[in-house]
């Protein structure tokens, strides 16, 4: 957009969608930018439906546990929190006071909530996989194999929007115990060396071999529909 277009928009509206993800390994067939790509693509599609504008995505985020895998870029929690806060402040400065953050990376949630608590702008934070309709598709297609990282659902979306890496022989990863899932929610993983040792190909309980570009089309549509509706309820 040009600044003139933004000026016209803010004359009558205060809402903006801010996608955020991460830049980290996503297993042997998942793209490094998966989390940022998913949040951005869903936001763009939703915006077409609900008339929102979408700020450029905050792609860099904390992912220290994946630093044992080439290509991962990780910010400290402090820097990410401050980045979010300064972006929110800039948007609010122009009158964009209702900021809908669409998240694509579990480790972002705590710092996002921290930043939201330190601003006067009204902020709603949702992760795209939490929408009910999206969750229904995830459990129907993948069940427990959705897992925690390099999930077939996120890989499906990037197979549709970007490319599919063929891996016909990709076996299922080690299955996670309920104890492990509980103890590591919100991406509370350990040191990079231990994390790579425990999950050598980068997948954490997720069988990304089940991903299909056709699934990606439906996941994207379902998430965008849900985001558009939730955004409208937020700004109205």
The answer to whether 101 touches 18, Cβ cutoff 8 Å, is: yes
By CB under 5 A, the residues from 169 to 228 that bind Ni ion are none
By CB under 5 A, the residues from 26 to 85 that bind Ni ion are 34-35
Question: Of all helices (H) and strands (E), which one includes residue 103?
Answer: strand 98-103
Instruction: Kindly tell me which of 34 and 81 has the beta carbon lying closer to Ni ion.
Output: 34
Instruction: Choose the binding region for Ni ion from 90-98, 115-123, 125-133, 148-156 (rule: CB under 5 A).
Output: 148-156
Compute φ and ψ for 133, nearest 5 degrees.
-65, -35
By CB under 5 A, the residues from 149 to 168 that bind Ni ion are 154
Instruction: Kindly tell me which of 35 and 146 has the beta carbon lying closer to Ni ion.
Output: 35
User: Closest separation between CB of residue 35 and Ni ion, Å?
Assistant: 4
The residue whose Cβ lies closest to Ni ion is 35
Closest by alpha carbon to 99, among 114, 119, 82, 75? 119
The answer to whether 187 touches 65, Cβ cutoff 8 Å, is: yes
User: Closest separation between CB of residue 105 and Ni ion, Å?
Assistant: 6
Q: Please give the DSSP secondary-structure letter assigned to residue 44.
A: H
User: Closest separation between CB of residue 1 and Ni ion, Å?
Assistant: 28
Instruction: Kindly tell me which of 28 and 95 has the beta carbon lying closer to Ni ion.
Output: 28
d(CA 207, CA 29): 10
Instruction: Kindly tell me which of 22 and 97 has the beta carbon lying closer to Ni ion.
Output: 22
User: Closest separation between CB of residue 89 and Ni ion, Å?
Assistant: 27
Residues in contact with Ni ion, counted by CB under 5 A, come to a total of 3
Instruction: Kindly tell me which of 35 and 41 has the beta carbon lying closer to Ni ion.
Output: 35
Instruction: Report the number of secondary-structure helices (H) and strands (E) in the chain.
Output: 9, 3
Count CB-CB contacts under 10 A for residue 27: 27
d(CA 71, CA 25): 7
Which residue ranges make up the site for Ni ion (CB under 5 A)?
Answer: 34-35, 154
């Amino acid at each position: 957009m040009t600044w003139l277009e933004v000026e016209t928009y803010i004359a009558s509206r205060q809402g903006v969608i801010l996608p955020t993800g991460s830049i980290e390994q996503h297993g042997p067939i998942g793209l490094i930018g998966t989390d940022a790509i998913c949040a951005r693509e869903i936001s763009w599609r939703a915006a077409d439906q609900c008339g929102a504008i979408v700020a450029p995505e905050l792609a860099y985020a904390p992912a220290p546990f994946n630093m044992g895998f080439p290509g991962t870029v990780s910010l400290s929690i402090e820097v990410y929190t401050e980045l979010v806060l300064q972006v929110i402040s800039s948007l609010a400065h122009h009158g964009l006071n209702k900021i809908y953050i669409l998240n694509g990376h579990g480790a972002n949630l705590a710092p996002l909530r921290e930043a939201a608590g330190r601003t006067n702008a009204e902020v709603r934070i949702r992760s795209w996989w939490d929408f009910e309709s999206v969750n229904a598709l995830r459990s129907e297609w993948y069940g427990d194999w959705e897992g925690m990282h390099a999930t077939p659902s996120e890989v499906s979306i990037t197979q549709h929007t970007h490319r599919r890496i063929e891996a016909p022989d990709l076996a299922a990863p080690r299955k996670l115990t309920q104890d492990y899932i509980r103890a590591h929610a919100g991406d509370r993983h350990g040191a990079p060396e231990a994390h790579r040792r425990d999950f050598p190909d980068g997948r954490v309980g997720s069988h990304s071999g089940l991903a299909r570009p056709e699934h990606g089309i439906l996941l994207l549509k379902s998430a965008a529909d849900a985001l558009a509706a939730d955004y409208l309820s937020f700004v109205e």
